[in-house]
Amino acid sequence: STQSTWGYILLRLVPMPLVYREEVVRWHRASCCSFAFAFAALSFILLLIAPLLFVLYTPRFQKTQNQIDLTPTASFSSNYIYSLTDGANGTIQTGSTYSSFNSLAQATTGYSYAAASVTSSTNANTLLTTVTVTVPVASTFQPVQASIYLAFSYQTTDYPIVTLQSGLLFSASAGYRGSGVSATGFLKFHSTDPLNYGGNDTSWNWTPFNSSSFTASSQLPFSSIITNYMSRKQLTLFENSNYAWSPGSTSTTTFVFTLYIYNLKNSFTYKPNFMEAFVWGWAQYITIFFISYWILGITNRFVFQEQLVQTQSTDPLTKASKSTFKTASGQPSTHTHTHTHTHTHTHTHTHTH
């Protein structure tokens, strides 16, 4: 027909490209006690174990810690420690809400003690806490340096959860007498160890200072208070603080600390839980698995096709099997077994009408 003729001409003129190449498949069998079986079993075990070992012992592929941004809650506990330095004679005036500190300050030569009044307010919309500490001073006292510690209760409301009693340290100085200092900044969480993702980390949920914290006069200088506080593994700091020093006069009888504290979003480093680490590790495992599969596939193909181990290979199409193994001379030793099965079925049907 015309259609067949045009099809024949088209096939002759247009070359036929290779669209699929089917490799010859042979099955290789060996005894469970043979070297070939041991090699195949070792290859299979290595295929499973190698990616796992690679993921476990390569830090780049491990997810031992992660970071998350959270907005915690911070509540001022109304506890404080302050220190003022007189520019005229270098005397120090201190005060706090801790009884042991106050007792040492009153009993130590060179220190004067005065309690302060504290007010605080929090704006939930702007996450701003304003703390005002008013310290009474004598008219002859000339503050040129001021330091203060404020105690806070700090907690995150989402995983990872951390609860701790922490604080805020602030120091300022000027070359002239002051009547107060105001500062603006935000609370920044710091931790030397990553948090636990699965639970509430309360390892540092105790106050750095309490009523019995101070037992020696050497603990009274504010430098010692800073050293004690900074030795904690979990703490909060007053960062990016800008302050303004207000000048005073001979009629000044108070010194006022005014701190504007923003509780903004913080980055928390934590240890991932099992499921998070498993999902991350599984993705890395699959990646290395396919690479191992390709490498071991080439190795196995070379070993069995080059007859480096003795196996009995079978062609699944012809059902013919042969035992192959390279001899000492390098030539393959081949034993071919052909299985022929002939089945004859005769059926005779006679119908008489």
pLDDT of residue 219: 84
Highest mean pLDDT among 167-171, 210-214, 278-282, 292-296: 167-171
**Distance of alpha carbon 216 from alpha carbon 307, whole angstroms:** 85
How many other C-beta atoms lie within 10 A of the C-beta of residue 340? 6
Backbone φ and ψ for 248, nearest 5 degrees, come out as -120, 180
How many other C-beta atoms lie within 10 A of the C-beta of residue 95? 22
Cα 262 to chain centroid distance, Å, stands at 26
List the structure tokens of 142.
Answer: 């000339």
pLDDT band at residue 104 under the 50/70/90 scheme: confident
Q: Is the pLDDT of residue 195 over 90?
A: no
Please tell me which residue, 127 or 132, carries the higher pLDDT value: 132
Rounded alpha-carbon distances, angstroms, from residue 99 to 211, 218, 304: 5, 16, 85
Mean pLDDT for the stretch of residues 103-125: 86
pLDDT of residue 341: 46
pLDDT of residue 16: 63
224-283 pLDDT, tens digit per residue, is: 999 989 999 999 999 877 899 999 998 899 999 999 999 888 888 887 776 777 777 778
Are residues 320 and 341 in contact, defined by beta-carbon separation less than 8 angstroms? no
Least confident of 12-26, 96-110, 324-338: 324-338
**Distance of alpha carbon 97 from alpha carbon 87, whole angstroms:** 25
pLDDT of residue 334: 52
Are residues 245 and 172 in contact, defined by beta-carbon separation less than 8 angstroms? yes
Q: Is the pLDDT of residue 17 over 80?
A: no
pTM above 0.75, yes or no: no
Q: Where are the alpha helices (DSSP H) in the chain?
A: 2-13, 35-56, 99-107, 222-230, 274-305
pLDDT of residue 330: 54
pLDDT band at residue 51 under the 50/70/90 scheme: confident
pLDDT of residue 350: 43
Least confident of 126-130, 229-233, 284-288: 284-288
Are residues 245 and 174 in contact, defined by beta-carbon separation less than 8 angstroms? yes
72-89 pLDDT, tens digit per residue, is: 888 999 999 999 999 988
pLDDT band at residue 156 under the 50/70/90 scheme: confident
Q: Which stretches does DSSP call E strand in the chain? A: 27-29, 66-70, 73-86, 92-96, 111-113, 117-123, 128-136, 143-155, 161-173, 178-191, 195-196, 200-201, 234-247, 254-262, 266-271, 311-314, 321-326, 332-337
Q: Is the pLDDT of residue 339 over 50?
A: no
pLDDT of residue 344: 43
Mean pLDDT for the stretch of residues 194-212: 81
pLDDT of residue 342: 43
pLDDT of residue 66: 75
SS3 132: strand
**Distance of alpha carbon 83 from alpha carbon 80, whole angstroms:** 10
138-147 pLDDT, tens digit per residue, is: 999 999 999 9
Highest mean pLDDT among 123-132, 138-147, 208-217, 325-334: 138-147
**Distance of alpha carbon 14 from alpha carbon 4, whole angstroms:** 15
pLDDT of residue 179: 95
Q: Is the pLDDT of residue 345 over 70?
A: no
